[in-house]
């Protein structure tokens, strides 16, 4: 970090831990990198591999080509499916075209997919708690026949839902939701439908929960919080909401050049965290930029240690 002159104002940075990359994001990025090494460029990726422009641009520079639909992938080149998961129709279409594909779906999202299949096989209608249009929601709905799943976005949705068979319901959730908001929706569903089947274990992933807990830990001690992440990153947006719910103003930024120093004019203690698809290099970039205007005292506040790692697909394990 650049040494700031003594005349600069002081600021304390409380940096949340855990923050940044989770195991699923790390695995997805490595899958694209290894695929480029194995097959050579270009390797096509359907949808942003993770929701972060810096990561996407870095992979583009290495030979990845990002597209929204499989129709945009030429014949004869490999394609990677993003960490958010895809409907079953997508790999089926890839196979019908003879495309080599690699599935970078986070294993924790895949776990939700399998649970959805099992609940439908058991004859239950699924209430899926999530955000309309998010790629993970689209992918999960695409695992089961149309009409077997209903999206629930709010407590109001939970209160309004009218099932054909109140005793034949199950619920599942998107992995990147607000822990507190989801608990309120689940409570409403369980009150209205006591027989509803809950998922085995928690659907909201460990990384989402851990990052929200870490933000809660720093927010109470801060005047403001910056969350590094993309505006289309569900887990990053939830971190902003968690801070604000604790009574601490928060903003989402993607890079250091988005820092609003006027907003920081009265801030003496600033919280800093990063969503699960934001690399640590962006955290350090923000700290360095703040250090150009302030004398920075940097403290890390650790609430959990993450040791989870996921295996790579067969054929990509070793270089």
> What is the widest separation between alpha-carbon atoms in the chain?
69
Res 204: pLDDT: 85
The answer to whether the beta carbons of residues 231 and 255 sit under 8 Å apart is no
**Quick one: pLDDT at residue 203?**
83
Q: 146, exposed or middle or buried, with CB in 10 Å at 0-12, 13-18, 19+?
A: exposed
- Residue 11, helix vs strand vs coil: strand
The catalytic residue positions are: 136
What pLDDT is recorded for position 314? 83
CATH architecture of 10-21+206-302: 3-Layer(aba) Sandwich (3.40)
Q: Answer whether 203's CB lies under 8 Å from 160's CB.
A: no
Quote the tokens at residue 62: 């290495």
> What are the pLDDT tens digits along the chain (319 aa)?
555 556 899 999 999 999 999 999 999 999 999 999 999 999 999 999 999 999 999 999 999 999 999 999 999 899 999 999 999 999 999 999 999 999 999 999 999 999 999 999 999 999 999 999 999 999 999 999 999 999 999 999 999 999 999 999 999 999 999 899 999 999 999 999 999 999 987 788 999 999 999 999 999 999 999 999 999 999 999 999 999 999 999 999 999 999 999 999 999 999 999 999 999 999 999 999 999 999 999 999 999 999 999 999 887 866 5
The token duo for 123 is 């004859």
pLDDT score for 7: 86
**CATH code that applies to domain 23-103:** 3.40.50.11270
* Residue ranges of the chain that CATH labels 3.40.50.11270: 23-103
**Residues written for the chain:** 319
Backbone angles phi and psi of 12, in degrees to 5: -100, 130
Architecture of domain 108-192: 3-Layer(aba) Sandwich (3.40)
CA distance linking residue 143 with residue 172, whole number of Å:
13
204 Rama sector, left if φ>0, alpha if ψ -120 to 50, beta otherwise: beta
């Amino acid at each position: 970090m650049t040494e700031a002159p003594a005349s600069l104002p002081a600021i304390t940075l409380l940096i949340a831990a855990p923050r940044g990359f989770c195991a699923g994001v790390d695995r997805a990025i490595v899958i694209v990198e290894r695929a480029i090494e194995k097959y050579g460029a270009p390797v096509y990726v359907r949808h942003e591999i993770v929701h972060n422009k810096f990561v996407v641009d870095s992979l583009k520079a290495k030979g990845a080509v990002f597209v929204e639909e499989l129709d945009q992938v030429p014949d004869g080149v490999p394609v990677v499916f993003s960490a958010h998961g895809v409907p079953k129709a997508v790999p089926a279409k890839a196979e019908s075209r003879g495309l080599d594909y690699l599935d970078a779906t986070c294993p924790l999202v895949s776990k939700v997919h399998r649970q959805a299949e099992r609940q439908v096989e058991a004859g239950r209608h699924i209430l899926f708690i999530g955000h309309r249009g998010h790629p993970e929601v689209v992918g999960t709905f695409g695992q089961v026949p149309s009409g077997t799943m209903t999206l629930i976005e709010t407590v109001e949705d939970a209160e309004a839902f009218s099932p054909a068979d109140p005793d034949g319901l199950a619920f599942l959730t998107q992995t990147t939701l607000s822990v507190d908001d989801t608990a309120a929706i689940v409570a409403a569903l369980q009150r209205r439908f006591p027989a509803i089947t809950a998922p085995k274990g928690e659907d909201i992933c460990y990384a989402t929960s851990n990052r929200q807990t870490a933000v809660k830990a720093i927010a109470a001690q801060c005047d403001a919080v910056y969350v590094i992440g993309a505006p289309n990153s569900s887990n990053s947006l939830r971190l902003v909401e968690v801070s604000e719910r604790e009574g601490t103003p928060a903003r989402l930024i993607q890079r250091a050049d988005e820092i609003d120093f006027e907003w920081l004019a009265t801030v003496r203690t600033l919280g800093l965290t990063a969503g699960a698809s934001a690399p640590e290099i962006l955290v350090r970039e923000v700290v360095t930029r703040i250090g150009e205007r302030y004398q920075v005292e940097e403290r890390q506040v650790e609430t959990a240690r993450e040791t989870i790692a996921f295996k790579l697909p067969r054929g990509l394990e070793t270089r």
